[in-house]
């Protein structure tokens, strides 16, 4: 964090190809910007590793609450050590391919180095958020099992709340208002 301002990075699909009228990532970015976050944009191909950590070619981003001309970039991309961010949103949609897996592993390294990541790389490697939907799964918990190590996770999807919460050893929680009081990684909520 620099100068007392929170710095949010986002790894997402190309922002020019999203549908602003229904894109959840854009809504999250608008909310973060309204609360004073500085935004930096990355695409999945922008993330890389060097001996001193995980980096990304980041571009300053401003978002607007309209369906046309809903974003603008600042200067040209520049390299940024990801642990210099306050928080990173991992919002890249599937396909879960080799590039996605590679970047998820890099982000896991950044998380181990202290970066707070919403949509934890460990959880994404185990169960992608797109594997269930409140309309399809109702409002009851779904048990999932990782295909490699067999560990179980319990995903509760609430159609009424419009959200999902993963419990078990790979769960997570995020609230932009509580950055100073980050929850300890825990499954006991």
Question: Structure pTM?
Answer: 0.66
What is the reported pLDDT for 112?
A: 94
Q: Is the pLDDT of residue 117 over 80?
A: yes
Percentage of residues in the chain with pLDDT exceeding 70? 64
Pair of tokens at residue 90:
């991992």
- The closest of 54, 35, 36, 38 to 46, measured between CA atoms, is 54
| Torsion (CA) 80, 82, 86, 92 in degrees, nearest 10 | 110
- The angle formed by the CA atoms of residues 67, 82 and 74, to the nearest 5 degrees, is 40
Q: Is the pLDDT of residue 168 over 60?
A: no
Give 47's DSSP letter: E
Q: How far apart are CA 153 and CA 169, in angstroms?
A: 7
Span 120-134, mean pLDDT? 63
Looking only at the bridges linking them, the beta strands covering 117-118 and 7-12 are unpaired
What is the reported pLDDT for 4?
A: 62
Q: Where are the domains of the chain?
A: 7-181
CATH class of domain segment(s) 7-181:
alpha beta
Q: Which residue has the tokens 């976050």?
A: 37
Q: Where residue 124 falls among pLDDT bands split at 50, 70, 90?
A: confident
Half-sphere exposure of 84 (CA within 13 A, CB side): 14
**DSSP string for 94-159:** SP--HHHHHHHHHHHHHHHTT--EES-HHHHHHS-GGG--HHHHTTSEEEEE-TTT--EEEEEEET
Number of Cβ within a 10 Å radius of residue 168? 16
Q: Which residue has the tokens 């048990």?
A: 143
Q: Is the pLDDT of residue 141 over 80?
A: no
Q: How far apart are CA 6 and CA 87, in angstroms?
A: 8
- pLDDT, tens digit, 9 for 90 and up, residues 3-36: 568 999 999 999 999 999 999 999 999 999 999 9
Span 38-67, mean pLDDT? 95
């Amino acid at each position: 964090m620099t100068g007392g301002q929170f710095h949010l990075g986002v790894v997402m699909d190309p922002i020019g190809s999203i549908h602003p009228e229904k894109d959840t990532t854009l809504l999250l970015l608008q909310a973060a910007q309204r609360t004073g976050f500085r935004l930096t944009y990355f695409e999945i191909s922008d993330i890389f590793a060097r001996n001193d950590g995980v980096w990304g070619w980041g571009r300053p981003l401003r978002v607007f609450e309209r369906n046309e001309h809903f974003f603008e970039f600042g200067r040209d991309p520049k390299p940024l050590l990801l642990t210099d961010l306050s928080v990173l949103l991992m919002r890249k949609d599937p396909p879960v391919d080799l590039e996605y897996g590679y970047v998820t592993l890099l982000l896991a390294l950044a998380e181990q180095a202290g970066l707070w990541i919403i949509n934890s790389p460990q959880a994404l490697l185990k169960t992608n958020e797109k594997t269930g939907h409140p309309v399809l799964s109702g409002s009851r918990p779904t048990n999932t099992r990782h295909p490699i190590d067999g560990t179980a996770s319990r995903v509760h999807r609430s159609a009424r709340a419009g959200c999902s919460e993963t419990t078990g050893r790979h769960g997570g929680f995020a609230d932009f208002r509580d950055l100073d009081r980050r929850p300890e990684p825990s499954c006991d909520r």
